[in-house]
């Protein structure tokens, strides 16, 4: 048998010993893993659904997000940035949460409308909801189907009822064009005000975060992540209709509107 120049061949006996050492090492590794995991549920089940998994609640998700951006990131952001970017609120003790309803006791004491304010803003509430129904009717078909495919009934941290965070460029762009065209009509001025009220703090919060990322030498490593939030959180796009129907958002808008001196009798636009 000819050998190629420069090739090293081990004797058969040494090859056998090397293979034996490898097999013994592999067995020891498998045995070690078994000893470590023998009391774990995964050893006794082949069904992934039966295994315990870490559950991150909506409140915990908000807390994790806030802990990173307010502390661990080193940006030194104000808590209002988190509130502006997401559906997260901070209670009096500094804990972050996703409100379960307008009656959530963790919301600020003056959050809910008084009985008098509620009566005075009921017409605006009904008008906004009616305009959203009209939008759904006018855009039934591909737009409504695309929007519906992104909706989840679960209220998630950060993104609300959105089924995960982007990218979903086709559905989002199609929806945005339809909503912008709808809002151009003077008869939808109240809904346009509501959309602007929701978008403004989100845009301002994002721009503050992005500017802090790019202007501080110690946090330049976060630039890609910071800029990525623009797309992930759809910063410059109209809010989804389910976010506009959300009772907490609607309550906050109507409270701000009437407490700033705007009544249902005042002209819009």
Under 8 Å between Cβ of 183 and 191: yes
11-25, 68-82, 127-141, 244-258: range with lowest mean pLDDT: 11-25
pLDDT at 46 over 60: no
State the pLDDT at residue 7: 54
pLDDT band at 39 (very low <50, low <70, confident <90, very high): low
Q: Say how far apart CA 269 and CA 196 lie, in whole Å.
A: 12
Asked if residue 122 has pLDDT above 50, the reply is: yes
First-last CA distance in the chain: 93
pLDDT digits (tens, 9 = 90+) for 157-210: 999 998 865 557 888 899 999 999 999 999 999 999 999 999 999 999 999 999
d(CA 38, CA 180): 59
What are the phi and psi torsion angles at 105 (to 5°)? -65, -15
The Cα–Cα gap between 258 and 8 comes to 87
Question: For residue 32, is pLDDT > 80?
Answer: no
Question: What is the model's pTM?
Answer: 0.77
Asked which of 7-11, 136-140, 143-147, 244-248 is least confident by mean pLDDT, the reply is 7-11
Whether 147 and 240 have beta carbons less than 8 Å apart is answered as yes
């Amino acid at each position: 048998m000819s050998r190629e120049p420069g090739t090293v061949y081990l004797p058969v006996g040494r090859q056998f010993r090397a293979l034996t050492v490898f097999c013994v090492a592999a067995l020891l590794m498998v045995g070690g893993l078994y000893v470590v995991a023998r009391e774990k549920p995964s050893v006794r089940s082949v069904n992934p659904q039966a295994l315990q998994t870490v559950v991150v609640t909506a409140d915990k998700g908000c807390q994790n997000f806030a802990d990173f951006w307010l502390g661990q990131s080193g940006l030194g952001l104000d808590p209002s940035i988190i509130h502006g970017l997401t559906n997260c609120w901070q209670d009096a003790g500094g804990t972050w949460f996703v409100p379960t309803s307008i009656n959530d006791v963790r919301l600020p004491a003056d959050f809910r409308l008084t009985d008098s304010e509620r009566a005075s803003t009921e017409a605006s509430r009904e008008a906004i909801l009616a305009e959203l129904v009209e939008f759904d009717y006018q855009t039934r078909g591909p737009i409504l189907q695309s929007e519906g495919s992104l909706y989840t009934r679960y209220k998630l941290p950060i993104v609300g009822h959105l089924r995960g965070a982007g990218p979903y460029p086709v559905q989002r762009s199609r929806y945005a064009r339809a909503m912008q065209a709808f809002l151009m009509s003077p008869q939808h001025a109240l809904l346009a005000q509501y959309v602007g009220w929701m978008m403004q703090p989100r845009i301002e919060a994002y721009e503050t975060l992005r500017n802090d990322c790019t202007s501080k030498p110690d946090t330049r490593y976060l630039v890609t992540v910071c800029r990525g939030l623009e797309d992930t959180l759809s910063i410059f796009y109209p809010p989804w209709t389910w976010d506009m129907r959300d009772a907490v958002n609607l309550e906050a808008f109507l409270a701000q509107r009437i407490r700033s001196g705007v009544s249902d009798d005042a002209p819009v636009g």
